[in-house]
Structure 1
Amino acid sequence: MERSDRDDAAQRMMACVIGSNVNQDGRSASMTAPNGPSQQMCIKASMSEAGLRPSEITIAECHGTGTALGDPIEVGALRDVMKDRGQDPMIVTSGKSNFGHMEANAGIGGIAKCILMLQGMTGACNLHLYFINPHIEITGYPALFVSEHVDAGVRTGISGVSAFGVGGTNARADLWGRSKLGYLATEEVGMTQKAEERGVAYARVAQHGQPGPGVADRV
Structure 2
Amino acid sequence: MILLQKKKDAKRIYTEVVYCKSNVDGYKEQGILQPSGDGYSLLFKEVYEEANISPSSVAYIEGHGTGTVVGDPLEVNRINDFFCPGRENALLLGSCKSNTGHTEPASGLCGIIKLIFAMETGIIPPNINFDKPNKNIKALVDGSIKVVTEKTPWPKDLNFGGVNNFGFGGANCHVLLKRPDENKRKRPVNDQA
Task: State TM-score, norm by structure 2.
Answer: 0.83
Shift of 1:128: 1.2
Compare 115-124 and 96-105 and name the one that shifted more.
115-124
Which residues in structure 2 correspond to 1:92-131 (within 5 Å)? 92-131=93-132
* Corresponding letter in the other structure for 2:179: G
Across the two proteins, how many residue pairs are aligned to each other?
182
Residue deviations 1:173-202, cap 9 Å, x none? 000013759x89xxxxxxxxxxxxxxxxxx
| Alignment correspondent of 1:15 | 15
| Alignment correspondent of 2:25 | 25
Task: State TM-score, norm by structure 1.
Answer: 0.74
Q: Pick from 153, 167, 170: which aligns with 2:169?
A: 167
Indicate conservation of the 8 Å contact 1:118/1:179, yes or no.
Answer: no
Which residues in structure 2 correspond to 1:42-57 (within 5 Å)? 42-57=43-58
| Alignment correspondent of 2:149 | 147
Indicate conservation of the 8 Å contact 1:156/1:176, yes or no.
Answer: no
Compare 120-129 and 161-170 and name the one that shifted more.
120-129
Q: Describe the shift of the 1:131–1:117 C-alpha distance in structure 2 as closer, same or farther (beyond 3 A).
A: same
Taking only aligned residues, the RMSD between alpha carbons, in angstroms, comes to 2.6
Indicate conservation of the 8 Å contact 2:35/2:169, yes or no.
Answer: no
Residue deviations 1:130-178, cap 9 Å, x none? 1212221115552221211101231761110001112221000000013
* Corresponding letter in the other structure for 1:18: V
Distance 1:11 1:142 in 2: 38
Q: Describe the shift of the 1:124–1:25 C-alpha distance in structure 2 as closer, same or farther (beyond 3 A).
A: farther
Unaligned runs of 5+ in 2: none
Runs of 4+ deviating beyond 6 Å:
1-4
* Corresponding letter in the other structure for 1:41: L
Compare 139-148 and 159-168 and name the one that shifted more.
139-148
| Alignment correspondent of 2:36 | 35
| Alignment correspondent of 1:65 | 66
Secondary structure of the structure 2 residue equivalent to 1:78: helix
User: Share of identical aligned residues, percent?
Assistant: 27
Indicate conservation of the 8 Å contact 1:91/1:145, yes or no.
Answer: yes
Secondary structure of the structure 1 residue equivalent to 2:17: strand
| Alignment correspondent of 1:188 | none
Which protein is richer in helix relative to its size?
2
Q: Pick from 153, 156, 159: which aligns with 1:157?
A: 159
Indicate conservation of the 8 Å contact 2:25/2:170, yes or no.
Answer: yes
Secondary structure of the structure 2 residue equivalent to 1:72: helix
Indicate conservation of the 8 Å contact 2:15/2:179, yes or no.
Answer: yes
Indicate conservation of the 8 Å contact 1:19/1:46, yes or no.
Answer: yes
Q: Describe the shift of the 1:153–1:135 C-alpha distance in structure 2 as closer, same or farther (beyond 3 A).
A: same
* Corresponding letter in the other structure for 1:34: P
Unaligned runs of 5+ in 1: 185-211, 214-219
Shift of 1:97: 0.8
* Corresponding letter in the other structure for 1:65: T
Distance 1:124 1:35 in 2: 28
Query: Larger relative CO (CA 8 A, sep 6+): 1 or 2?
Result: 2
Shift of 1:36: 1.0
| Alignment correspondent of 1:135 | 136
